[in-house]
Chain A
Amino acid sequence: MAKVKIATDWLGGCAGCHMSVLDIDERIIGLLDAVEFTSSPVTDLKHPPKDGVTVGILEGAICNTRNIEVAKMMRERCQILVALGNCATFGNIPAMRNLVGTGEALKRAYVETESVVDGLIPASPELGIPVERVTGVDKVVKVDVFIPGCPPSADAIYFAFTELLAGRIPEFPPEYFKYD
């Protein structure tokens, strides 16, 4: 049987959810019999292959225009899109900047921070432009599976993989369903 292709990527997050994917430990070896990780931030291939994957996984919140592009590309190239972790599902910690506003948050981070001298807010054309309101991934593309958690536990992630491989959309039992 052909292996199920998986691609992962991250948006505005801390990489903790990807760490949690790696945290499934030796179970990943068994998993590799059934799946192929094509692209991810920890592989050489950074973008999901053009011919598509079955499962696309996104970590992180929508914080800037670059995040929107990445999310849209992943959506176009996968059949099932998984929002992994609290940032991808709710916006989480990055979304707390909504309480002060993006402009205010940038000023505090790049200009007013105590350790900064003559600070400047980055404005290089190659950078994404921060959005006014940070949101979960589902506010810009359709999401099929939400896995909350900060980060979701390795067990929750492994459970999601096994359920998806069995052809089911995972419904998480209470021990895997956490907001922190």
Chain B
Amino acid sequence: MEMVNLTINGRSVSAPSGSTILKAAKDVGIDIPTLCDHPSLTPIGACRMCTVEVEGQRTLVTACTFPVADNMVVQTESPRVVKARKLVLELLFSERNHICPSCESSGNCELQELGYRYGIDHWKYPAITKRFPIDATHRYMFLEHNRCVLCGRCERGCGELAANHTLGLGNRGSDSIINCDAMTPWGSSTCVSCGTCLQLCPTGAISDKRSAFMGRDTETERVKSTCNRCSIGCGIEVATRSNNVLRIEGDWEAVVNGGRLCENGRFAPLFESRKRITKPLVKTGDRQTEATWDKALSTAAELLGSVGGAEIGAVTTSDATNEALYLLSLIFRDNLKVSNVGMVNGAVPVLPGLPCGSLQDMLQSDIIIAAGVDPVSDQPVASFFVKRAVDLGARLILVDDKENELAPFASKKLGINEISTAADIAGEAASPFVLYGAGIAGDAMRALAKLGDKALFLALQPGVNTYAADALGFNNGFTPKSAKVLFAQIGEEGLTTGHMLAGIDDKTALIVQASYQSPLTQRADIVLPATIWSERKGSLTNSEGRVQKVNQAIKPQGEVKSDWEILSLLAETLTGKPPVTSLEELSTLAQQKITNKEI
């Protein structure tokens, strides 16, 4: 990388050629204030907070957009610069409502921080007090135009990160407002509720309805973890207060999603209305009664010991952690010699020997084939990357026999029997990317395999931890029919659908590990209550095969335990000794087995 040498505040600094003054300064710990800039967005130099003095330049320049050059001399806090920044702040404060005590964002506000930094102790200019409306039509967020500084971060996030282009700037001059779909109420706009704008807003203009006024950052705790809503495995940051989850935010530093989340990951987990199971339940006669863990586990061990391995079945959903899947296999396959061990939903067969790409890689591709996969509804964050790549000039070839929500973005739509045409077109491209899913199989996949020497491939798994379940041998045609005793690990999934229950014989003894009440838990002989996403520890493996940590954000409700903890105790009850001594040991064992999977 070509480096240039410059001086910032009298200090010699080396920075890569093409980097901005802001980036060069930040890298050596010189803090230049910003407002409209965000590391994940294209800089636009709109707010003028980052203005600096560059020797030889006629005017002050914006550090966020100005590229460094050899021998450049920069001053970031000279009297001229500070005077300009104060003027910018005074002008910002002279419009709309920036009265802190009644604002949701007071204490978490970038404008407020800047006011403090530059000692704004009164407002020089009389404020323009034109009143703007509040748009509270959205289910999860409200848009308070009176608090808006028009930095455009929300708009750029909507376009560049979610690639949804719902938000835009409307009107002119001091009447300018952020608006949805050319002045449509937010709640009835094309917004996909990903909340990227919420996470980007520097002031109190966009706020989360659910957690508004529930505590500023200094009063909350933050835990990084991994989303468990689909197989993308987005990095999340969970904000909690007094053992309550306030908000879920995208982790800007996460490699997989770079801060993006979808409605399902950001908002849905906080609107859960199902009833939790908080204590172990054991059926006596026709009634389930609360029991101690000892009682529940010993009853389960007795049930499992009362029949031979051939009469036992064990099934899991893909919600389970790597650790739980590893132990489930250990207990049932190795200890109890059960062969009828499997998972509820299938996995996408991953073609062997093909280079695996990440969602970020898609942004560098020129042709994307989406085959048998509909990320818009199933893995929305993946769809943001597809749509962004299309915005950046990539062409999308959609291969599917079903209706697919990516269709409006595709330049070509083909049936699955025409997949070799797609492969031929992509073969002409410089860097094709193949995104495929459960909708294609055998022959169709082999047609794509010929792109192996130049394309990157990503199989989007249908379930959260399907990759790990598949790697640990759970994708083998489990059938509940032959089981006299069935162990079902369903975690948070709501198996209210007929298919699991339908296959279970009325006489089958049923042990269910679950977080929420469902027809399956009501039918069970023993119910082992499990933690939900915010309470559990462990790890998950995403569609790329990336093993990511799940961290506990709040203490578990009642007597519930993590899925692997329940299985570890069950193993101990069955064999007399615990299978592992610590979570770390277990995680390592599970990870070794998952990543050693032959692809």
Interface residues of A (CB under 8 A from B): 83, 86, 89-93, 95-96, 98-100, 133, 135-136, 138-139, 143, 146-148, 150, 171-172, 174, 177-180
Contact = CB atoms under 8 A, between A and B. Distances in A.
Contact of A177 (B97, B116, B126, B146): B116
Contacts of A174: 116
A89 B129 contact: no
Nearest to B109: A179
Contact of B122 (A99, A146, A177): A146
Given A95-B99, A148-B121, A180-B101, 19 more contacts: A86-B99, A89-B122, A90-B99, A90-B123, A91-B123, A91-B127, A95-B129, A96-B97, A99-B97, A99-B146, A133-B129, A136-B123, A138-B122, A143-B122, A174-B116, A179-B112, A179-B115, A180-B106, A180-B107
B126 A133 contact: yes
Contact of A93 (B102, B107, B123, B126): B102
Interface residues of B, number: 19
Contacts of B99: 86, 90-93, 95-96
B102 A96 contact: yes
A98 B127 contact: yes
B328 to A, nearest CB: 52
Interface in B145-188: 146
B129 A179 contact: no
Contacts of B97: 96, 99
Nearest to A96: B99
Contacts of B126: 133, 135, 139
B29 interface: no
Contacts of A148: 121-122
A180 B100 CA distance: 6
B10 interface: no
Contacts of A135: 126
Of B97, B101, B106, the most chain A CB neighbours within 10 A belong to B101
Nearest to A99: B131
A150 B101 CA distance: 7
5 contacts: A86-B100, A143-B122, A148-B121, A171-B119, A179-B116
Say what secondary structure dominates the interface of chain B. loop
Contacts of B106: 179-180
Given A133-B126, A139-B126, A180-B106, A93 B101 contact: yes
Contacts, number: 63
A177 B119 CA distance: 8
Contacts of A91: 99, 123, 127
A121 to B, nearest CB: 21
A100 B127 contact: no
Nearest 7 CB-CB pairings of A with B: A146-B121, A98-B129, A179-B100, A150-B101, A99-B131, A180-B106, A180-B100
A67 B126 CA distance: 18
Contacts of B129: 95, 98-99, 133
A95 B116 CA distance: 20
A86 B101 contact: yes
A93 B103 CA distance: 11
A139 B125 CA distance: 9
Contacts of A150: 100-101
B146 A136 contact: no
Contacts of B101: 86, 92-93, 150, 179-180
Given A98-B127, A174-B116, A180-B106, A136 B122 contact: yes
Interface string B124-145: 0011010100000000000000
A67 B121 CA distance: 21
Contacts of B121: 89, 146-148, 172, 177
A139 to B, nearest CB: 7
A174 B121 CA distance: 12
Contacts of A93: 99, 101-102
Nearest to A178: B116
B103 to A, nearest CB: 8
B107 to A, nearest CB: 7
Nearest to A147: B121
B551 to A, nearest CB: 32
